[in-house]
Chain A
Amino acid sequence: MNLTLKIWRQKNANDKGKLVNYPISDVSPDMSFLEMLDVLNEGLINKGDEPVEFDHDCREGICGMCSLYINGEAHGPDRGVTTCQLHMRMFKDGDTIVIEPFRATAFPVIKDLVVDRSAFDRIQHAGGFISVNTSGNTIDANAIPVNKHDADDAFSAATCIGCGACVASCKNSSAMLFVGAKVSQFALLPQGKIEATDRVLNMVKQMDEEGFGNCTNTGACEVECPKGISLENIARMNREYLKASLKG
């Protein structure tokens, strides 16, 4: 099929940036979205133009590196997938596709479609861990039974890939789904309860300092999340935060 791509080009963080039109032909429906961009870039390089920069790595939906905002949706029109798992069969011959970076104050653009998401790392530095030494001299793994329901919920929260689609989809650029998922994973496990108070206070404080907005419960983040992280995690974080503040 033949398509028209409108792609955000921005030389560097200080450049103003603009949308540029690129026609592309002979796109196979079996291509992934990123493979389609590979073909575009190959053509640009062969013509002596600069290729479009975008983040990507594992190309199987787990590393969380790819981060495109396609036709107004994080990771494009399909559900439950990252951009690398989006296939061209989701589009029709003659379509125009607008491709932008994930936009948020806390995610400044580095170049073209590449953004800086290190704010997520800094939130994790503030408390996204259990303070156990890695010496291996812990207790036997089966000495801490965890009921399956809690273990499964903790796992579901832990499947967050840190891509930032939640932030890009939120009109307030809130990171509550991301932070809520991490807080929830530990809050649901007995190992995580010991530091629960400090963890939620520190992570939320860092989140606010990074310039992420507040949650107004529109639920857009949950819809666009490629891993289906549930809004329940935000509710759980709010409960944890309230508890911690009262203790505080």
Chain B
Amino acid sequence: MALDSKIPKGPLADKWTNYKNSNNLVNPANKRLIDVIVVGTGLAGGSAAATLAELGYNVKAFCFQDSPRRAHSIAAQGGINAAKNYQGDGDSTYRLFYDTVKGGDYRSREANVYRLAEVSANIIDQCVAQGVPFAREYGGLLDNRSFGGVLVSRTFYAAGQTGQQLLLGAYSALNRQIGRGKVKMYNRHEMLDVVIVDGKARGIIARNLVTGEIERHSAHAVVLGTGGYGNVFFLSTNAMGSNVTAAWKAHKRGAYFANPCYTQIHPTCIPVSGDHQSKLTLMSESLRNDGRIWVPKHKKDVDAIRAGKLKPTQLEEADRDYYLERRYPAFGNLVPRDVASRAAKERCDAGFGVNATGEAVYLDFAAAFMRYGKEQAHVRGLDESDDALVRKLGQEVVKNKYGNLFQMYEKIVDQNPYETPMMIYPAVHYTMGGIWVDYNLQTTVPGLYAIGEANFSDHGANRLGASALMQGLADGYFVLPYTIGDYLADDIRTGPIPTNSPAFDEAEKSVRDNIAHLIDNKGTHSVDYFHKRLGKIMWNKCGMARNAEDLNSAISEIAELRKEFWKDVRVPGTNEEFNEELAKALRVADFLELGELFAKDALLREESAGGHFREEHQTPEGEAKRRKEFQYVSAWEFKGEPKDAVLHKEDLVYENIEVKERSYK
């Protein structure tokens, strides 16, 4: 099947308006006859479910957590971008579009990104109307901060808990519809297959995680807002339950999977402390507004620090290497995430890592304390030359901005970041790749949609900070509700979809067979044992730097591990009860397939772009080197085994932006 991105005709800035003026609509009386399933209740799924219900559709929403409010969007810290230009610093829809395409290393689709930038301002209006308590200035208006890869302040925030506040906003809109009976909410349910009837997505098979019951749910369309697949690495900043199962099952039923190798490795996370580690914790990128990243200039100081004989605060300015400021004077500490992560790896690989494992750099707020403190002392008419006083005043300012992050750091590391610099290291955080969708956010399966992180569309090979929240809410509140109507307009006479068809029988049987195999297997190793091994392969061979040899061996190792898993995994208990190990086993089984496709995709992409860095393709300065012949989206069609997946290319055409070498110098 040829890929048709269905981008509307006309000038870039008019495409979305033209689309909205000409798409099919469903009249209010007919919407009552149409059912939609939404899987996932994060920013994308939650906002979509609420909006579709408000429009009049009958919505069934599913989440695996005990409440929709706990979806992992809740953990997003720093903020949400919007081209409001409240600061009057030159922002515009075009500039947000430009920054996003450039930030994505020219691997995203122009029309989708422009639409995202266009609706971004509306998100802020909408959220304020819903009572989301964004940070404000003393005059009562909204405050902004800066994020990486841009030269304007367009990020709206709520301390270090922006994702939480936005998700609670979407959750409140969802609650309103649940209260009205327009959304039927299924908590503690996991989608285990999508059901295709006569070529269209018509329902799902879900497992009730409390009772183990296998349920059939039908609808006229199915929307996946199921997030990313970073947990394929075992250690990531994702929640423990975040998984690829819904997306992967959709892939196996015909949805193409796009750019699986595009992974975001976030530069500022708390370093790994030991083998017991179950997940990694992010320290918001917003900290790079005020924190300076450095390692010692000299090896002897590194050794002294590792041996505990020297404190970082004792090191003279001249003996420190602020390597981001040195290498990228224009953007400094606010380079995009992929660039900052690689630079940290470069210094640590060269032996300058500052902790016992050699995998940590400093994020230092000392300069910010003094800068803010001086300002405060001046405003309050206090002694600006009293360093101790100035530092204390400055610490209060920083505490107001990032208090929860500093507290989180102290609890985990047991060091006070007000007194000594934080130690950070890159960790897997976000996946730009995902299910391929057209301009309508429809997958290659009619009636199956993917929104938010679950799709691939907007961030190219690298996502800019504070853009994930923007995309999730844009898709859910403002894009999908229009585009899905265009499809559902043909379904007004279809009537309810029966669940007793052969397609439902087959899908349920395949789910039951899988579960029975896992339960009856009685092998020798736990699910985590396999998941950790998969994570090691992924991190070592498909991580921050990749090469053909490693990727080839990753492909065979993962295939081998998958075989071993099915033969030797041990899942205690039964299906007919609350059984977390079984839920985990079903997720890891899918990660073991995705991981192989991931490596295959990374092997094929013989260039470096954004978060995908191939060692064979770098500039003499060690920067990522894109290649014109790879200016396309890799969309993989499932053919029985990950290794047999067939590649389809969507060429990326840039008509409104000049494709340049991406420079932050």
Which residues of A pack against B, CB within 8 Å? 11-12, 28, 30-32, 34-36, 38-39, 42, 45-46, 48-51, 53, 55-65, 78, 80-81, 85, 87, 89, 110-111, 114, 116-118, 120-121, 124-136, 138-142, 144-148, 151-152, 154-155, 158-159, 161-162, 185-186, 189, 191-192
New A-B contacts (8) at CB < 8 Å, excluding given A51-B581, A61-B408, A118-B66: A65-B70, A81-B411, A121-B175, A121-B178, A129-B173, A138-B126, A151-B135, A191-B131
Instruction: For A146, list chain B residues within 8 Å (CB).
Output: 136, 140
Question: A-contacting residues of B (Cβ < 8 Å)?
Answer: 47, 50-51, 54, 65-70, 72, 74-75, 84, 86, 119, 122-131, 133-142, 158-159, 161, 164-165, 168, 171-173, 175-176, 178-179, 185, 187, 210, 237, 239-241, 273-274, 276-279, 281-282, 407-408, 411-412, 414, 477-478, 525-526, 528-529, 570, 572-573, 577-578, 580-581
* Closest residue of A by beta carbon distance from B529: A42
B54 touches A133 (CB 8 A): yes
A136 cross-chain contacts in B, Cβ below 8 A: 119, 122-123, 125-126, 477-478
Check if A139 sits within 8 Å of B125, measured CB to CB. yes
Complex contact A30–B274 (CB within 8 A): yes
B139→A39 contact, CB < 8 A = no
- Interchain Cβ contacts under 8 Å between A and B, 30 examples: A28-B276, A31-B274, A45-B570, A49-B572, A51-B580, A53-B580, A57-B72, A59-B278, A63-B65, A78-B411, A87-B411, A87-B414, A121-B68, A121-B187, A125-B176, A125-B179, A129-B130, A130-B129, A132-B126, A136-B122, A138-B129, A146-B136, A146-B140, A148-B137, A155-B133, A155-B158, A158-B133, A158-B168, A162-B69, A191-B131
Q: Which residue of chain B has the shortest Cβ distance to A49 in the bound complex?
A: B572
Interchain CB contact under 8 A, A124 and B175: yes
> Bound complex: CA of A51 vs CA of B578, how far in Å?
11
Taking a contact as CB atoms under 8 Å apart, the answer to whether B66 and A28 are in contact is: no
The number of inter-chain residue pairs (CB within 8 angstroms) is 218
Contact call A117/B131, Cβ cutoff below 8 A: no
Complex: how many Å from CA A29 to CA B86?
A: 47
* Inter-chain contacts of B128 with A (CB < 8 A): 138, 141, 144, 191
Q: Give Cα distance in the complex from A61 to B410, angstroms.
A: 13
A144 cross-chain contacts in B, Cβ below 8 A: 128-129
Give the residues in chain A near B281, CB-CB below 8 Å: 59-60
CB-based contact A30/B273 at 8 Å: yes
Which of A45, A49, A144 has the most chain B CB atoms closer than 10 A to its own CB?
A45
Evaluate whether A42 and B526 lie within 8 angstroms (CB atoms) in the complex, with A57-B70, A148-B137, A158-B168 already known.
Answer: yes
* CB of B275 to closest CB in A, whole Å: 9
Chain A residues, CB < 8 A from B123: 136
Q: Select which of B122, B140, B276 is within 8 A of A31 by beta carbon.
A: B276
B67 contact from A81, A117, A159, Cβ within 8 A: A117
Whether the Cβ atoms of A191 and B130 lie closer than 8 Å is: yes
CA distance A53 to B578 in the complex (A): 8
* Closest CB in chain B relative to A5 CB, distance in Å: 16
Distance in angstroms from B170 CB to nearest chain A CB is 8
Residues of B within 8 Å of A38, CB to CB, are 276, 278, 528
Cα-based distance from A63 to B70 in the complex (angstroms)? 5
Contact between A147 and B164, CB atoms less than 8 A apart: no
Given A117-B67, A192-B131, A85 and B277 touching (CB < 8 A)?
no
